[in-house]
Structure 1
Amino acid sequence: MSAPPAYVGVSGIVSRTEVLAAISAFPGRQLMVGVLASDKTLAGQQNLWWRRYPKIASIAGIFSDDPRCLNLVHYGADTPPDGDTLARLFEMSGHRCHGFQFNGAWPSAHDLWAFRRLYERTGREPRIVLQLGRGAGVAHVAPYASRGLITDVLIDASGGTGEPLDVEGAAEVFGAQRAAYPHLGIGVAGGLCAETVPQVAPLLQRSASVDAESGLRDGDDGGGRLDLERVKAYLEAVAEAVRPSRSPSRPGAPSPPWSPSR
């Protein structure tokens, strides 16, 4: 089993207009459209960073059916989402949603297995990403990866706060995850924007995915508005970092698999 295609993520998107603007600036790679949800928004309450979290009922309408997009709901909570919560998220995300990223507390392996069955009954194979916070490693991923319940992990100690990525530490975690689970996609996040993308170029050239959120926003209250000029500059910086003419980080390393998976 091979790892899924790498993606370039923009998270905290709240409208179809933002999706279309990102696609228009995106130079032919796979764009991960990250729409945020939480236990609060699922209960109809306003999240503290309300400019980043749409109302649950609007999520399905945000996603585009453009084949260049990988549409993921990023669900975050302090307690593991149970089976009923996962089923509701599946229903509210709509048929254009390709999968989920779980931030904070992860669902149990049993509940995640049942969740995957919901997708498979519709003939779809979901993309399931686990966010690895500070201190999470191979042992934490094992109950999910060994059973084929997840497709990716995202190395992200920032949790959307914009805390700069510890590139050296991320590279160590990346290597350990790649060695243990070569079938998983591996991504990195934390303070990424056009200016910081060059720092993770060696990982991008090793087929790492990247995701950006806080670094693409202005300083307005409620978590800031998505700045589409910053989005464009970020996407262009990633394209430059993975340009085929560049030498790979290690002799004989293959080019990263950027083609869309669907």
Structure 2
Amino acid sequence: MLDLFERYRCVTNRFSVLSTDQLNQIHAAFSPEDLMGVELVLQGKEMGKPKALAGRARALKERLSAVKDGDATVESESDHTTIACVSGFLVNMPRRRVQLVTPVPASGRWPLGYRIVDERFFGTPDEFRDEVQSMIDVHMHESPPPNRPIRFRGDLQYEAKRHHFLLRSCHFEYQVTDNAASSVGDLIAGGRCTASELVAQVVTDGASAIAVADELDQLHIRGLLEEDLDERFAWRNGEGTT
């Protein structure tokens, strides 16, 4: 891997370090110059860096909680987010499977800490290419799909203001300009219309179709609109399962 990095200067390598002993072995085997292209991700118990409560760790917490009659004995997940660090394609070559994934906080819906947007199987390089292109065409929209319900991300709290609205997550606050006669923010927060229905309603009240479409595009680009629309897992007033 280091030879490939030295030859092609590709993206930085990431290496999970599971203990202090392992870290010492790495430094004994490789010089600082050798590790210039390697990010050592410290994951051991001694490292003091919290892990995302996902996968086997989440399953263990659930088992311990059941044993203790609901009293979980491991650290709260409230400060954790996800193990995933990329939106893109996750390829399993032995199973010839390609998944389109994106990070989400680990939950009962997505216990591994990433949402599986789509999954395909392939047998040849050409099939792999075709499946990837198909997922791009189906899921990677430059604008909100006109006939799908439009709503804010489930973890965002909506607050209307004069000529703008606020969207708050546990870590960030987003301020969005909203000058339409019928508030775009109110309509999205209501979650009862598609993108095309929303544009039609606001335009009927005198707003510019171009301006409203641009506002929706900006919300889409900033990742503030919900994409996981399975009603079985929909949030209700800020509470639910993603």
TM-score, normalised by the number of residues in structure 2 = 0.29
Larger Rg: 2
